[in-house]
Structure 1
Amino acid sequence: MKSKIHEYPKKNIENMSKKIIVIIALAITIVSCNNNEKPAAAAKELKTAYVDTSVLMKEYTEANDIQEKYKAKADEKGRQLEAEINRFKQEASNFQSQAQANGQEWAQKKGAELQRREQQLAQAQQALAQQLQQEVGVEMDSLVTGVKKFIKDYGKEKGYTYIYGTGEPASILYAEEKLDITKEIVKLLNEKYKASATKEEAKK
């Protein structure tokens, strides 16, 4: 009896995180910061910069911590399921020889049982993947909202008219390197995240 169950995808959470990073990059592609200046003055004082969103998400500590958290969670929750799948595969591989020894009636009964278990394990795999995807999605949505607000506040404070997002999902094909503020944004975000984590530790 051949099993249709796939091995538990240990890299599932990594692939999911990569997709989410693309969504994040799209979400913060352009942050507009209006200075409420007169049109003529705004044209003279036009100040722009850009953030490489792909680099930002790779180097932002909080984003990396979320990904590591859910990779560990996927391994932990998947370990028990993987053991059950391995036991099932062992039984399924022994089914043919046992059927010959135990007869047709036993084979029909055992075959039906194995099919039910196969369906249950497949459903458990799907449910686990959906649960992890939903949980990581909630945290990443919150992270995106925080990053967008941070960049907007930064733009207002520094007097930028526009801060653009670049990276694979973005539509900006060229910009001067001197306008790249990615390192500054990553540095400030990481400092803010570290300070927040330190405060949380102090409360415990």
Structure 2
Amino acid sequence: MKKSLLIIALAISIISCNKETQTKEAAAFKTAYIDTAKLMEEYTEAKDVTEKYKAKSDEAAKKLEVQEANFKADAAYFEKNAQANGQAWAQQKGAELQQRQQQLQYAAQTMAQQLQGSHATEMDTLVKNVKKFIKDYGKEKGYDYLYGTGETASVLYAKDNYDITNEVIKLLNEKYASSAKKEEATEAKKEEKK
């Protein structure tokens, strides 16, 4: 009986020492989180990409509006003059108008798909670069874990003092601004050579 009590006491002391070691190791982890939704809303490059494709979309819509207005004018002319010009003319012009309408619809769909594809590709590249930046940032600052919150939350709770979102946004915006200035300087030099 004494031997079994001694074995149990020894086992309990080993387990408690092991738990203390695990607790000390867990307490030594440096962690933080980033609100990824806020990051993408406030990151200047992400805003610029979104604005760029919004402008392209608006420009494409204006071009299509002109073509659509011309089509509507031709359709109105057709309706007005269909009976006066005869059935053969009406059938021929009706078929032409129908073909133009299909071409306009196809052009609109194609343009929308191209813009969406280009925007998605550019945003994917941007997200990939942000992830790399965050990984490098985490290594540089000595973090063991960086969590993401936002639309695809992987953290259910964290104290606010672990939130480094604003710091990362600031650094990303500074990096983007400096790269934009370098591009502008390069473009200016190219223009001077011409």
Note whether the superposition's TM-score is higher than 0.5: yes
CA distance in 1, matches of 2:45, 2:58: 20
Question: Deviation string for 1:63-105 (max 9, x for gaps)?
Answer: 1111111112222233222200111122223433321222222
The number of aligned residues is: 167
Give the superposition deviation at 1:175: 2.2
CA distance in 2, matches of 1:46, 1:125: 53
CA distance in 1, matches of 2:156, 2:81: 64
Give the superposition deviation at 1:41: 6.1
- Within the candidate set 155, 161, 174, 1:172 is matched to 155
Moved more, 42-51 or 113-122: 42-51
Give secondary structure in 2 for the equivalent of 1:169: coil
Instruction: Return closer, same or farther for 1:198/1:103 CA change in 2, 3 Å cut-off.
Output: same
1:72 is the counterpart of 2:59: no
CA distance in 1, matches of 2:172, 2:89: 64
Aligned to 2:46: 63
TM-score normalised by the chain length of structure 1: 0.75
Residue identity (%): 61
- Within the candidate set 114, 117, 136, 1:134 is matched to 117
Structure (1/2) with the larger helix percentage:
2
Give secondary structure in 2 for the equivalent of 1:50: strand
The letter of the residue matching 2:80 is S
Aligned to 1:152: 135
What are the ranges of 5 or more consecutive residues in structure 2 without an aligned counterpart? 1-20, 188-194
Moved more, 170-179 or 101-110: 170-179
What are the ranges of 5 or more consecutive residues in structure 1 without an aligned counterpart? 1-37
CA distance in 2, matches of 1:62, 1:133: 18
Question: Deviation string for 1:30-63 (max 9, x for gaps)?
Answer: xxxxxxxx97764231222111111111110011
Give the superposition deviation at 1:147: 0.2
1:1-204 equivalences in 2 (<5 Å): 42-204=25-187
Greater CA radius of gyration, 1 or 2? 2
CA distance in 1, matches of 2:50, 2:131: 19
Give the superposition deviation at 1:169: 3.0
Question: Deviation string for 1:124-164 (max 9, x for gaps)?
Answer: 11111111112222221211111001101111111212111
Give the superposition deviation at 1:189: 0.2
